[in-house]
Amino acid sequence: MNDSIKKLGIFTSGGDAPGMNAAIRAVVRSAIFYDREIYGITRGYEGMIEGDFVKLGARSVGNIIQRGGTILKSARSAAFREPEGRKKAFEQIKKNGIDALVAIGGDGTFTGLHKFYEEFGIPSICLPGTIDNDIPGTDYTIGFDTATNTAVEAIDRIRDTALSHNRLFFVEVMGRHSGYIALNAGVAGGAVGIIIPEENTTIEDLFTKLDEGGKTNKKSSLIVVAEGSKIGGAMDLAAKFSERNNYFDIKVTILGHLQRGGAPSYFDRVLASRMGLAAIEGILNGQKDCMVGIRSNQIVFNSFNEIMTGSHPIDQELLRISKIMSI
């Protein structure tokens, strides 16, 4: 192991995701297990620039594995996007004697840390923490499972009222560029239609689907829409349907940031724990400028260049299943 790395810094950046605290806990306790000091950097890159560092111990991260959000806080930093801001961050890193960095976040976090490594050479490694599951190089990101379970629970409750009132519900879930939550929640929730950014579904396709259901005496329908849908969000689609259909009572539910909160699922807690340990063991064994991922249930390390130039394609088999199940 690399004996020159004695002090590490850990921070969270970008949007919060359930399981981030579990990942913080894993990183901190793994570092202590290997007899390293570890410091929390609050508010992401903004806190790094301002020198907001606090030493963490095993008890500092007690009783957080079950909590949503992030105890280290998260913030976006316009200053870090500029060379002057990154230089200030580097000065604080050196002032505090930090030898390596561990970040938990999404593609914006990765881009910033890769740039920081290129300019100053601080060994760094990332854990993918985002509910969208849109990061290449890993089958799952921390927070995706919890967010999808939250969406499914909401859909189940909405279905009860849809069945009671002959209603058509449009349920909008998060996913500006990725349809992973919409697709998985839609299949699990029995949606008649699933609208995701990766597909070129049209309004006419949806009308045809509902007409087919009407012919078989379908009394209620539920359509799951990713917020990044190419044909509009749930409110837009509901308005367009209202103009041409008076059979259903049309309602809209936008789940929004509800999906970010709440206690992480067992899956996200275990995933975060595995990735947190891998981050520390990886960086102490020479891994740097990379991201921890999980593929076929095995830990892998992906270079930032691979992550930033790749994509995480939607599951085509699950998409096929969704179309068959919606009849």
Q: Of 99, 132, 145, 289, which is the active-site residue?
A: 132
132 is catalytic: yes
What's the 3-state SS for the chain? Answer: CCCCCCEEEEEECCCCCCCHHHHHHHHHHHHHHCCCEEEEECCHHHHHHHCCEEEECHHHHCCCCCCCCCCCCCCCCCHHHCHHHHHHHHHHHHHCCCCEEEEEECHHHHHHHHHHHHHHCCCEEEEEECCCCCCCCCCCCECHHHHHHHHHHHHHHHHHHHHHHCEEEEEEECCCCCCHHHHHHHHHCCCCEEECCCCCCCHHHHHHHHHHHHHCCCCCEEEEEECCCCCCCHHHHHHHHHHHCCCCEEEEEECHHHHCCCCCCHHHHHHHHHHHHHHHHHHHCCCCCEEEEEECCEEEEEEHHHHHHCCCCCCHHHHHHHHHHCC
Q: Which residues are catalytic?
A: 132
